[in-house]
Amino acid sequence: MYGRKVKFRFFFVVTILLILILTTFLVLKSLEENVVYFQSPSEIKNIAEIKKNKIRVGGMVKENSLSMQSTVINFVITDFKNEINVTYSGAVPNLFEEGKGVVAEGFLKDRNFFSATKILAKHDENYMPPEVKAALQEN
Amino acid sequence: MASLIGSYSLIFGAFFSFLIFFFSIKNLSKNEILDYKIFYLSFLQFLFVLISFLGLILSFVVSDFSNETVYNYSHSTKPLFYKISGTWGNHEGSLLLWLLVLTLFITLFIIESKKQPKKYRVLTILFQQIIIFGFLIFLLKTSNPFNFIYPSPKEGLGLNPILQDPALAIHPPILYLGYVGSSIIFSSALSAMITNYITKEWAKHIKKWILISWIFLTVGILVGSIWAYYELGWGGFWFWDPVENVSLMPWFALITLIHCILVLEKRQILKSWVIVLSIATFTLSMCGTFLVRSGILNSVHTFANDPERGLFILIFLFSLIFLSIFVFFIFNKEDKKNNFSIFWMSREMSILVNNWFMMYFLSVVLIGTVYPIFLEVISSEKISVGPPFFNKLIIPFLIPFLLIMSIGPKFKWIKSNLNEKIFLFLLLILSLFLSFFVVKNLDVDFLIYTILVGSAFYLFFITLRDFFIMRFNNLSQNIAHFGFSLFILSILFNNIFTTEIITNLKVGETFHSNKVKIYFENIEQANKQNYKSLIGKFDVQNSDGVSEILKPELRIYNQPNIVTSEADIKTDIFEDRFITINIVQNKEYFNIRYQTKPFMIWIWFSVLLISLGGLISLIKKKYEN
């Protein structure tokens, strides 16, 4: 028979392994639930079905598309190929402006309408989100 | 002229590296005391890097636009203070600062380590010099701060206005002291392993460096958070932004190291673990530099970047990791003499459990930061991992963490029993009850918050009681743990009670809700040295009818032409009232954000308490010696 010490060690190793597997599983699961995918207006035009997940849409704010009321801001995000209408109520960052890069986070209503819950813009006048740059370069 | 001196002085500094290599290796094989040449050479190297750094500062002060760095990041109308702080507000200058701190620390190390064995000191100097040399080459080859432009431009491009801020002027130097301090820990751990000097004395000696790095890193992160809180205008202080995470990871590694170096000091066990952590700390600091500078990360902090730089740091990083793994496997000896047995009921066990939790938190942050990069490389899908991920994986684990943190210090070393079991149990029940009554009426997830707030209260009461009973026995641990409980409590209440109103208003309009009335009185213009400022005047009236004037500001900088919002924050001991305005496309409407943030000042204060704990431990060490 194995000694008490060996049994104890075996038990210890198994517990550690179980905990490791469990945490890995937990981490992966919440990763899956909480990641936000980035898409360009062109990609949205081509998606097969509208999912309920939160996504990010990136591109430029189209010139002369911005309108503002007391509770809501409307504008159009374009990648110069396709565009999407965005409605947003909330705080806007400093560099949010027509003709500048923007990333909007929120939910798709359909292929043409996006309801944003957060707007991100970068603190650099030459800055273009890498996603936007990539999307623009593809065209 | 200043640039020229700076440039040559840097090359001289690189030259000294060779001399130090030569004399160190020579000194290593001979069995005598430390060759004093090495000390003088290190000191001279530090002086040359210092001259180079001062040269760069001078170029910034006199706005010498023939220097490319000055041209890119400065402007003649910028106030003097920001001309100086602009020196390290950019990639090249900040790396020069890294290097300066590296050379400073090794000089200090040589002075401070006089009582340590010679071979260990020389080896540490050697390892440290490898790092210094790597950075020198990196600086000279890919990011020389003294590049010359001809013909020299008349005016510079200006420093990004959000960096023109007192907090951000001191944030990088403090943070770097923490990062670079970890390089000493790294070199010292490797040399201690080679010379078989991982003993009580070594633990005692390296503990000072660990504490110093950790204190600077903590304060550095704190200053950065305070800056983000009032400057970025989102009203939060931590966004789980990749660049923030990158500074948090070495922090976790350092705080783990602080705890287990205590075990090493007292019981001479966990040697390999201490070494692994020392290596990890520095590797994580380097990873931080790599991730921030390579432009891989998508973050508010990524300013100018260049793929070549990223590649260089990556190669450098991998060579260091390989070197350390190599050293680790060759020289790490299984310690057979020492009886490696840890009892369940002992202080070392509770520290070990703390270590596991810390490693878990560290892995969560690491995965959340690196996974998007990884995924983009293998599947070209672009994702971001937001706060929900971190909250979900960290917050539940805080409960056992807090409980063990309360009970752990009650154990004695080696083997002990828990005294006052009944009292501790009753206190736990009391804390849970208290938290139950606090949480009961709130609109939050009832069960988890009751337990979470309860455990935080528990730690709070236990540390508070210990403070009065034990007096100055173990004061540092007591204060740091008390600070941590205060930290968790203020964050929780801050999260629960924060209120926010976002609306668009024209001048003269009033926003009504049942809790608050915001009247937009007027907007005034003022011209400052390098920006135009628009100051809004708001009359905010709360439900009790008390009204208060808040004046948030918009700054339109001349060069670069950027608008920034300066929040107006009214602070008292219970809450912060925070307002920002923003202008959108010159429309009549202004975008207004008004927030009440309870206990903000307690968050800052508790972090200071935590670092004070470290400071006391450091001073106590000196005093005992």
H/E stretch holding B138: helix B118-142
Q: How far is CA B433 from the centre of its chain?
A: 36
Task: Indicate the pLDDT class of residue B156, thresholds 50, 70 and 90.
Answer: confident
Tally of structural domains, chain A: 2
Q: Does B270 share its domain with B359?
A: yes
Q: Tell me the count of A-B CB pairs closer than 8 A.
A: 102
What CATH number does the domain containing A102 carry? 2.40.50.140
Amino acid identity of residue B308, one-letter, is E
Q: Does A85 share its domain with A114?
A: yes
DSSP calls for B507-574: TT-EEE-SSEEEEEEEEEEEE-SSEEEEEEEEEEEETTS-EEEE--EEEEESSS--EEEE-EEEE-SS
Closest CA to B161 of B91, B79, B244, B69: B79
Residue with tokens 């707030």: B453
Q: Does A19 share its domain with A87?
A: no
**Burial (0-12, 13-18, 19+ Cβ within 10 Å), B435:** buried
Give B367's contacts in chain A (Cβ within 8 Å). Answer: 27, 31
Least CB-CB distance to B582: which of A31, A92, A125?
A92
Q: How far apart are CA A56 and CA A38, in angstroms?
A: 5
Integer angstrom CA distances of residue B448 from B361, B432, B492, B597: 19, 11, 12, 22
- The answer to whether residue B313 sits within a structural domain is yes
Helices (H), B408-445: 421-439
* Structure tokens given for B343: 């009892």
Give A90's contacts in chain B (Cβ within 8 Å). Answer: 502
**Inter-chain contact B562–A131, Cβ cutoff 8 Å?**
no
Q: What percent of chain B has pLDDT over 90?
A: 40
**pLDDT at position B185 over 80:** yes
What pLDDT is attached to residue B256? 95
Q: Does B183 share its domain with B332?
A: yes
Mean pLDDT of all residues in B578-591: 82
Q: Does A16 share its domain with A61?
A: no
**How many angstroms separate the CA of residue A130 from the nearest CA in chain B?**
8
Q: Does A41 share its domain with A31?
A: no
**Inter-chain contact B300–A26, Cβ cutoff 8 Å?**
no
Give A69's contacts in chain B (Cβ within 8 Å). Answer: 504, 589
What pLDDT is attached to residue B255? 95
**pLDDT at position B349 over 80:** yes
Find the residue in B nearest to A63 (Cα).
Answer: B585
pLDDT digits over B415-472, tens only? 777 777 888 889 999 999 999 888 887 777 788 889 999 999 999 999 998 888 876 6
Q: How far apart are CA B463 and CA B483, in angstroms?
A: 9
End position of a domain, from candidates B153, B173, B190: B153
**How many angstroms separate the CA of residue B463 from the nearest CA in chain A?**
30
Q: Does B552 share its domain with B403?
A: no
What pLDDT is attached to residue B294? 63
Residues of chain B numbered 341-360 and touching chain A (CB < 8 Å): 360
What pLDDT is attached to residue B304? 46
**Burial (0-12, 13-18, 19+ Cβ within 10 Å), A58:** buried
Higher-pLDDT residue of B141 and B386 is B141
Q: Does A1 share its domain with A46?
A: no
Give the structural domain span for B18.
Answer: 1-153
What pLDDT is attached to residue A125? 45
**How many angstroms separate the CA of residue A29 from the nearest CA in chain B?**
10
Q: Does B197 share its domain with B99?
A: no
Least CB-CB distance to A34: which of B382, B385, B584?
B385
Q: Does B242 share its domain with B123?
A: no
End position of a domain, from candidates B153, B184, B215: B153
Least CB-CB distance to B386: which of A34, A90, A123?
A34
Q: Does A89 share its domain with A30?
A: no
Q: Does A134 share its domain with A103?
A: yes
pLDDT digits over B264-287, tens only? 888 888 888 999 999 999 999 988
pLDDT digits over B96-141, tens only? 999 999 999 999 999 999 888 989 999 999 999 999 999 999 899 8
Task: Indicate the pLDDT class of residue B483, thresholds 50, 70 and 90.
Answer: very high
Give B389's contacts in chain A (Cβ within 8 Å). Answer: 30-31, 34-35
What pLDDT is attached to residue B212? 95
**pLDDT at position B409 over 90:** no
**pLDDT at position B204 over 80:** yes
**Inter-chain contact B162–A123, Cβ cutoff 8 Å?**
yes
**How many angstroms separate the CA of residue A70 from the nearest CA in chain B?**
5
Residues B281/B287/B292/B294 CA torsion (nearest 10 deg): 160
Q: Does B109 share its domain with B126?
A: yes
Q: Does A113 share its domain with A48?
A: yes
Closest CA to B435 of B459, B461, B448, B453: B453
**pLDDT at position B573 over 80:** yes
Task: Indicate the pLDDT class of residue B293, thresholds 50, 70 and 90.
Answer: low
Give B503's contacts in chain A (Cβ within 8 Å). Answer: 70-71
**Inter-chain contact A125–B560, Cβ cutoff 8 Å?**
yes
Supply the pTM of this predicted model: 0.90
**Inter-chain contact A125–B562, Cβ cutoff 8 Å?**
yes
Q: How far apart are CA B458 and CA B429, in angstroms?
A: 9
Give the structural domain span for A28.
Answer: 1-35
- The answer to whether residue B430 sits within a structural domain is no
Q: Does B141 share its domain with B271?
A: no
Task: Indicate the pLDDT class of residue A40, thresholds 50, 70 and 90.
Answer: confident
**How many angstroms separate the CA of residue B387 from the nearest CA in chain A?**
9
**pLDDT at position B341 over 60:** yes
Flag whether residue B334 sits within 8 Å of chain A, measured between CB atoms: no
Q: Does A12 share its domain with A63?
A: no
Q: How far apart are CA A123 and CA B75, in angstroms?
A: 18
Flag whether residue B558 sits within 8 Å of chain A, measured between CB atoms: no
What pLDDT is attached to residue A32? 77
Flag whether residue B507 sits within 8 Å of chain A, measured between CB atoms: no
What pLDDT is attached to residue B334? 65
**Inter-chain contact B383–A36, Cβ cutoff 8 Å?**
yes
Mean pLDDT of all residues in B289-312: 62
pLDDT digits over B530-565, tens only? 888 989 999 999 888 888 999 999 888 887 777 888
Q: Does B13 share its domain with B53?
A: yes
Task: Indicate the pLDDT class of residue A36, thresholds 50, 70 and 90.
Answer: confident
What pLDDT is attached to residue B423? 86
Q: Does B221 share its domain with B99?
A: no
Q: Which of B73, B355, B373, B382 to mutate to test the interface with A (most CBs of A within 10 A)?
A: B382
Q: Does B117 share its domain with B258?
A: no
What pLDDT is attached to residue A104? 87
Q: Does A30 share its domain with A66?
A: no
**How many angstroms separate the CA of residue B565 from the nearest CA in chain A?**
7
What pLDDT is attached to residue B303? 46
Mean pLDDT of the residues in chain B: 87
What pLDDT is attached to residue A8? 76
Q: How far apart are CA A104 and CA A19, in angstroms?
A: 38
**Inter-chain contact B385–A31, Cβ cutoff 8 Å?**
yes
What pLDDT is attached to residue B420? 78
Residue A42 CB coordination number (10 Å): 18
Asked if B322 and B288 touch (Cβ cutoff 8 Å), the reply is: no
- The answer to whether residue B260 sits within a structural domain is yes
Give A88's contacts in chain B (Cβ within 8 Å). Answer: none
Q: Are strands A35-39 and A55-61 parallel, antiparallel or unpaired?
A: parallel
Q: Does A15 share its domain with A30?
A: yes
Residue with tokens 């840097």: B10
Give A125's contacts in chain B (Cβ within 8 Å). Answer: 560-562
Task: Indicate the pLDDT class of residue B359, thresholds 50, 70 and 90.
Answer: very high
**Inter-chain contact A97–B233, Cβ cutoff 8 Å?**
no
**pLDDT at position B602 over 60:** yes
Q: Does B17 share its domain with B107?
A: yes
Flag whether residue A137 sits within 8 Å of chain B, measured between CB atoms: no
Flag whether residue A136 sits within 8 Å of chain B, measured between CB atoms: no
Closest CA to B356 of B469, B237, B260: B260
* Structure tokens given for B18: 């060779």
Q: Which residues contact B480 (CB under 8 A, 6 or more apart)?
A: B609, B610, B612, B613, B614
pLDDT digits over A2-23, tens only? 677 777 778 888 988 898 888 8
Mean pLDDT of all residues in B24-38: 82
Tally of structural domains, chain B: 3
**Inter-chain contact A91–B582, Cβ cutoff 8 Å?**
yes
Q: What percent of chain A has pLDDT over 70?
A: 84
End position of a domain, from candidates B128, B153, B178: B153
Mean pLDDT of all residues in B598-611: 95
Q: Does B288 share its domain with B263?
A: yes
Q: Which residues contact B213 (CB under 8 A, 6 or more apart)?
A: B177, B178, B179, B180, B181, B182, B184, B185, B254, B281
Q: Does A57 share its domain with A117?
A: yes
